[in-house]
Amino acid sequence: MNNKEKLRNVLFILLGVAGLLLKQQYNGMHSELVKSYLGNISVSFAMYFLVSIYATRWKNGKVISAVVALAIVELFEITNGFGVMLNTFDVFDLVANIVGVGLAITIDFSIKLKL
């Protein structure tokens, strides 16, 4: 992975973090859904790009990134925050995590930023 790709991934990680931090400010349509699940989508999205920085050395790095990122966020949900953080289990959080990683891998495959 070259420096431009790393920078692109860091920008997408920061976008995911911004979504997590700003979700509580949203007061538009379906605000309860946004406030409940945007955090999961955002963190899963960011986790994919974080893992992908390290997975470039492996064959099928994007697929590995998706699987590892999804495993991390799903295990976080299932283990109640890895036993370290308080997390309220909601089965739809698992679906939101899939959406976040799916969005990330779709963007990764389709968007090439010129930095």
Please tell me the least confidently modeled range out of 3-12, 63-72, 82-91.
Answer: 82-91
DSSP type of residue 28: S
pLDDT at 99 over 80: yes
Please tell me the least confidently modeled range out of 49-53, 89-93, 105-109.
Answer: 89-93
**Which of residues 12 and 5 earns the better pLDDT score?**
12
Would you list the domain boundaries of the chain? 3-110
Average pLDDT over residues 69-85: 84
User: pLDDT tens digit string along 22-45?
Assistant: 888 888 898 888 888 999 999 999
**Which of residues 94 and 56 earns the better pLDDT score?**
94
Q: What is the pLDDT of residue 5?
A: 86
Could you write out the DSSP letters of every residue in 65-113?
HHHHHHHHHHHHHHTTGGGTS-----HHHHHHHHHHHHHHHHHHHH---
- Tell me how far apart the alpha carbons of residues 87 and 109 are, in angstroms, rounded to a whole number: 32
Q: What is the reported pTM?
A: 0.87
Three-state secondary structure call for residue 21: helix
